[in-house]
Structure 1
Amino acid sequence: MLGYFITVIYLLTTVNQGLCDDGYFWHVTDFHYDPTYETTSLSCKESKVGDQIGTFGDMWCDSPWILIESCVQAMKKFKRNVDFVLWTGDTILHADVEKINHTFNAVILDNTTDVLKAAFPDIPVYATFGNHDAYPTGQFPPNNTLLYNESLARWRSWINDDTQDEDFRNGGFYTVKTSYGIRIVALNTNFYYTPNKLVSPEGDPAGQFAWLTETLGNATDQNEKVIVTAHISPGVTPKPDIPFFSDQNDKLVEILRQFADIIVAMHFGHEHADAFKVLKNTAGVPTAPLFLAPSIAPLRFGPMHNPGVRLVKYDRITGKHIDISQYYLDLNAANRAGVADWKLEYTASDAYNIQDLTASSLTALIDRMEDSDSTEFKTYRKFYYVSPPENLTEDCDWKCHAVIFCGFTEFNLDDVKKCEKKMVSEAIRMTSWKYLYGFLVFVLVTYIHT
């Protein structure tokens, strides 16, 4: 009898553990390593060179090697035992095309691959290309290239599936299953990036759309859960604009929306900012969360921002994303102290008071950010720039807020503009009523006192 109860207890414990199995993975992006940082400083703006720049980096420059090493070592320190790493590209510096070449870029990709392998020797890294990883910058042909072939050799031990070779050689995309059964779909969205002159702004470069449809269809048939990853995200940026050719943005969104019910999350880089969106399925229900991770490179294209890297907590069984621990380096403090002290910037659950990172939780958070004066929106703005050394919570007017808010859930530029126009009109109407009400109160008080 005692043995029977022991068996029952064991089985119940096993079942309960199986219902939720927490795992972790890192997402790192946009290293933009500048090997000339301390000499000719090819990436630096504002004519910053030599002793004018900080040891660990400068907000007018791309990353020195010491910044990249400190980031990878911080990842290892904070959480060495992860299930995998997502590395979403843009490892090459921003530099004039005549100052670099394919061989120069290849050494950068080799060095960065090696430092990740050294820190996580037995953990797969699922890498994708950024627009700067090609030479010339942004030029990705839909056929076999030296970059694809060399990178397949670099990353073969991570992909570990020779059935993916043909697709990778032809277009730099692939799919693998993690050891816990979650399917990773790694795309090359640089095909659709408007600066790419080697593809038509219409059609299906390298057959990636057809491949994606088939891959997600097979995943549906096999009851798999999917994480989609790439460098550049579909949708609208806060400028506002879309980084992709319009037709191809809409086609990619259409495919992702069709299979949104099996996509547990999507992870991108490129924007050098901390952001998220939520994609609706074909029934119009918010279903698939989309996350943009901030860059390691501190080079600014607008307001200042610090380097950041994130740790994602997820359920290994369902793929559901539970939390994000966002780490960052206060770059000015690191340069003053001579020590790279990476710290926890926030956890999403605490910062936004949400239980998990599902589409429903994020949609409720978005609803709370409809008010531009809300704590949640001001917090989002601060983290968007990775806790920058200047106040950015007060420089977002009605139009700025409307574009950001509409971009959370709208992935077509025309739809964002319609939403934006409606929100701005409503803000003007409410403000007009506010001033009219104040004027009427003033008149009434004045009349009473006279």
Structure 2
Amino acid sequence: MKITMRTTVVFSLLLMMATSGVSTSPGALADRVKCGTCKALGAVVKGVVKLTGSSMLMRSKAYRLCSVVPVARSVCEGYIDSWAEPLTYIVQNSKLSSAEVCAIYIDACPRPSLDIDATLYLRKDPTPAEIKIRDYLYPSPATPGLTVLHIADLHLDSLYREGADNSCSEVLCCRADNGFPTNASRRAGRWGDYTRCDSPYKLVESMVQHTAKQHPDVAYIMWTGDNAPHDDWRTSREEVLSSTSSITALLQRYFPGIPVLPVIGNHDSAPINSFPPKEVWNAGFSSAWLYSMLANMWKPWLPPNAAATLENYGYYSLLVRPGFRVIVINTNVAYKLNFWVLMTARGDPSHQLRWLTEELRAAYLTGEKCHIVGHISPADRDILPAWSHMYYKIIKNYRTTVRGEFFSHTHVDEIHLSKDDNDEAFAVTYVAPSLSPWKNVNPGYKVYTVDGSRGAQSTWEVTEVARWTVNLQEANKLAGNSPRWYQQFKASEEYGLASLSPQNWSSAVQSMLLKDHLFTKYYRNLSGRALVQASCDAECRQEIICNVLTSDQSSPRQCQRARATYQQAVREGRANPRAVVSASQPTPWF
């Protein structure tokens, strides 16, 4: 019997789920599988599922592959159990060809065009005069403003146990069932551990207590998701809601009366990464339980219209101050490891992009300025390229209305720059560090100064960014009731920025590409200067700068320009290709 070669590579997807981590691209993992094998396997899986309609059969076949993935068998089988039924449904109903699916998950496969069928409400492109006015009026770091707190990726693990094994065979360790080794280097620290371990409750409470005391003038808090721990293979609804409820209670206790803008992360669902489109909610796969519970939990912070939108779609918008709006988007619907994208890759799930342009158009017409907040940045390499491109197009069109973008997810402290066809930077995206030390990072958070206290003269631009952190190695060695939180740097001082305008950031990134001392600072700041951070050579440097400059995942243009600039500088003797940044070396003073 001839089987039509269509749609998904279920076994490969399950393998990626079992071996992926927050800092690992599914495309990089799947490069081990050649495109031809991927397409053929997709055809076989499609045929078997079409013939039998059996998730049990798919589950039993997938179990056999657990012997080839570098994780405990229980972890591999747990991922398969959690996704077998949804993937069976997806295989039966996805309209993507196997070539299109393979291109999503395997970097080496040719990428076909996947146009999104979405209606966008765009304005006329900003005039050069509008753009110049924004640049000219960009306030300096000395401008008084509002204090805004950004916390992210707390990954509260209520089962964390000091002294438990930090190097177990599972994705998440430091729990009692991992055992308590006698080897001191394998024993989980009091405040957390750099290996495969999440945040103990005492670390979460310490951060919330510290921020309430250190920043009593905070205007509002951005809390950008991922509250549950990394035991992804056995995540339950109860665990997700319990983690979120515990953090909600802490924030309400220590920040009474302070607005909190919560965001749903990819770890805040069960199964992990599962955000089915509304079209399948009646088929037994739904996010209604999650959205409704969170909307109810967060009612004290959200006005009724925002809570209602959150309950229906997982996103919302609210007016924070007169003339200033925050728009919270749900980028999980475009995340590659949310396998429901195999049914929505050609569409606009919940019409979110259309809604975003409606909000921005209304803001533009009334003179409001906006910040956009979410969990996974649309510039992230694991966002669908077509969705990333549409978002880039929207921000470019509303570049004089959108004054800041804020995300998290990667666990590191980084930025993305958006540039137009003339190589002019027009937007900066700030990615917050995680509180969780998983993996190899110091716990941290960010504080922004926003130009919003000058009445009608307020621009709502970000004028300063401060990174606060805990040296986890130091905290675990010292006796005491609380770790030492300290301000690690301010962006303007660290990178020599006269202002935090997109143009000034662009100049700084160009210098990072070629000058060792600036890149060394940026690289070490990614992890909060954790001494367990790996070294970074010339190829690593180019990859990191490419990540900063690639805000549109459908186009490698900015990355190609950066690589060409670096290679030319090497040929001309202006860059040292043998330079290696080590986490253990002190940052140069020059």
Q: TM-score normalised to the size of structure 2?
A: 0.64
The answer to whether structure 1 residue 38 and structure 2 residue 130 are counterparts is no
Query: Quick one: structure 1 residues 46 and 154, their matched pair in 2 at CA, closer, same or farther if it must change by over 3 Å?
Result: closer
Following superposition of structure 1 onto structure 2, how do residues 119-134 of structure 1 map, counting pairs within 5 Å?
Answer: 119-134=254-269
* Structure 2 Cα separation of the partners of residues 433 and 385 of structure 1: 24
Cα shift readout 1:379-408 (whole Å, capped 9, x = no counterpart): 11111110112475xx32222222222333
Q: Distance in 1 between matches of 2:571 and 2:511?
A: 20
Residue of structure 2 equivalent to 1:78: 214
**Cα drift, residue 222 of structure 1:** 1.0
Q: Which of the numbers 426, 438, 448 marks the counterpart of 1:299?
A: 438
Looking at structure 1, the residues matched to 384 and 365 of structure 2 have their Cα atoms a distance apart, in angstroms, of 31
Alignment partner for residue 152 of structure 1, among 291, 295, 304? 295
2:575, 2:466 → 1: CA distance?
A: 42
Contact 1:322 1:355 in 2 (8 A): no
> Match for 2:268: what amino acid?
D
Choose which of 495, 499, 519 in structure 2 pairs with 1:377: 519
Deviation, structure 1 residue 426: 2.2
Q: Is the 8 A contact 2:514 2:569 kept in 1?
A: no
Q: Decide whether aligned partners of structure 1 residues 108 and 434 sit closer, same or farther in structure 2, where only a CA change above 3 A counts.
A: closer
Alignment of 1:91 with 2:227, yes or no, is: yes
Closer/same/farther in 2, CA of residues 32 and 426 from structure 1, 3 Å limit? same
The CA deviation at 1:275 is: 0.6
Contact 1:129 1:172 in 2 (8 A): yes
- Give CA deviations for 1:140-163 in whole Å, capped at 9, x if unaligned: 123351110010011112122x22
Q: Show structure 1 runs of 5+ residues with no match.
A: 1-18, 237-241, 436-450
Residue 76 of structure 1 deviates from its aligned partner by: 0.8
**Deviation of 1:255 (Å):** 1.3
Deviations 1:222-255 (A, max 9, x none): 111111110001225xxxxx11112111112111
- The residue aligned with 2:393 is 254
Please state whether the residue corresponding to 1:376 is helix, strand or coil: helix
Other structure's SS at 1:328 match: strand
Q: In 2, distance between residues paired with 1:311 and 1:235? A: 22
Secondary structure at the counterpart of residue 229 of structure 1: strand
For 2:489, the equivalent position in structure 1 comes to 346
Equivalent AA in structure 1 for residue 500 of structure 2: L
State the SS of the aligned residue for 1:36. Answer: coil
Q: Post-superposition shift, 1:96?
A: 3.6
Match of 1:196 in 2: 338
RMSD over equivalenced CA pairs, Å: 2.6
Q: Does 1:399 align with 2:539?
A: yes
Partner of 1:368: 511
Q: Distance between the aligned counterparts of 1:75 and 1:381, measured in 2?
A: 25
Letter in 2 for 1:405: I
Q: Is the 8 Å Cα contact of residues 33 and 92 (structure 1) preserved in structure 2?
A: yes
Q: Pick the aligned partner of 2:475 from 334, 347, 355.
A: 334
Which aligned pairs between 1:198-213 and structure 2 lie closer than 5 A? Answer: 198-199=340-341, 200-213=344-357
Quick one: distance in 1 between partners of 2:152 and 2:571?
A: 42
Given that residues 182 and 224 in structure 1 are in contact (C-alpha distance below 8 angstroms), is that contact kept between their aligned partners in structure 2?
yes
Q: Which residue of 1 aligns with 2:377?
A: 233
Q: Please say if residues 424 and 503 of structure 2, whose CA atoms lie closer than 8 Å, have aligned partners that are also in contact.
A: no
Q: Does 1:263 align with 2:405?
A: no
In terms of mean alpha carbon deviation, does 111-120 or 399-408 score higher? 399-408
Aligned to 1:441: none
CA contact (8 A) 1:28 1:293 kept: yes
- Rounded to whole Å, the distance in 2 between the matches of 1:22 and 1:168 is 29
Identify which range, 144-153 or 185-194, moves more after superposition.
144-153
Q: Does the aligned pair in 1 maintain the 2:451–2:462 contact within 8 Å?
A: yes
Deviations 1:195-248 (A, max 9, x none): 112232221011100000111111111111111110001225xxxxx1111211
Structure 2 residue runs of 5 or longer lacking an equivalent are: 1-141, 182-186, 279-286, 453-457, 578-590
1:370–1:243 CA distance, 2 compared to 1 (3 A)? same
- Single out whichever of 40-49 and 411-420 deviates more from structure 2: 40-49
Give yes or no for contact 1:260–1:279 (8 Å, CA) kept in 2: no
1:319 aligned onto 2:424: no
CA distance in 2 between partners of 1:153 and 1:76 (Å): 24
Query: Residue in 2 aligned with 1:273?
Result: 412
SS at match of 1:117: helix
Does structure 1 retain, via aligned residues, the 8 Å contact 2:295–2:308? Answer: no
**What amino acid sits opposite 1:176 in the alignment?**
L
Alignment counterpart, residue 365 of structure 2, candidates 198, 221, 228: 221
Question: Distance in 1 between the 2:421 and 2:290 partners?
Answer: 36
Aligned-partner Cα distance in 1 for 2:371–2:574:
46
Q: Distance in 1 between matches of 2:536 and 2:340?
A: 37
Report the Cα distance in structure 2 between the residues aligned to 1:347 and 1:32, rounded to whole angstroms.
26
Please say if residues 323 and 367 of structure 2, whose CA atoms lie closer than 8 Å, have aligned partners that are also in contact.
no
CA contact (8 A) 1:261 1:281 kept: no
Mapped to 1, the partners of 2:238 and 2:306 lie a distance apart of 25
Q: Residue by residue, what CA displacement relative to the aligned partner does 1:21-64 show, whole Å, maximum 9, x if unpaired?
A: 51111000000011111288886349965572111101120000
Separation in structure 2 between the aligned mates of residue 207 and residue 433 of structure 1, nearest angstrom: 46
Amino acid in structure 2 at the alignment position of 1:83: A
Question: In the alignment, is residue 388 of structure 1 matched against residue 530 of structure 2?
Answer: yes
Distance in 2, matches of 1:434 and 1:281, equals 29
Q: Closer, same or farther in 2 for the Cα pair 1:124/1:425, shift >3 Å?
A: same
Q: TM-score, length-normalised on structure 1?
A: 0.84
Checking the alignment, whether the CA contact within 8 Å between 1:258 and 1:282 is kept in structure 2 is no
Query: 1:179 and 1:378, CA in 2 relative to 1: closer, same or farther beyond 3 A?
Result: same
Report the CA distance shift for 1:283/1:125 in structure 2 as closer, same or farther (over 3 A): farther
Q: Distance in 2 between matches of 1:433 and 1:128?
A: 41
Q: Which residue of 1 aligns with 2:568?
A: 426
Distance 1:386 1:38 in 2: 24
User: What is the alpha-carbon distance in structure 1 between the residues aligned to residue 384 and residue 391 of structure 2?
Assistant: 11
- How many Å separate the matches in 2 of 1:432 and 1:130? 42
Asked if 2 retains the 8 angstrom alpha-carbon contact of 1:403 and 1:416, the reply is: no
Bigger mean CA deviation after superposition, 126-135 or 405-414: 405-414
Tell me the number of residue pairs that the alignment of Structure 1 and Structure 2 aligns: 404
Residue aligned with 1:133, SS:
coil
The residue that corresponds to 1:58 in the other structure is 193
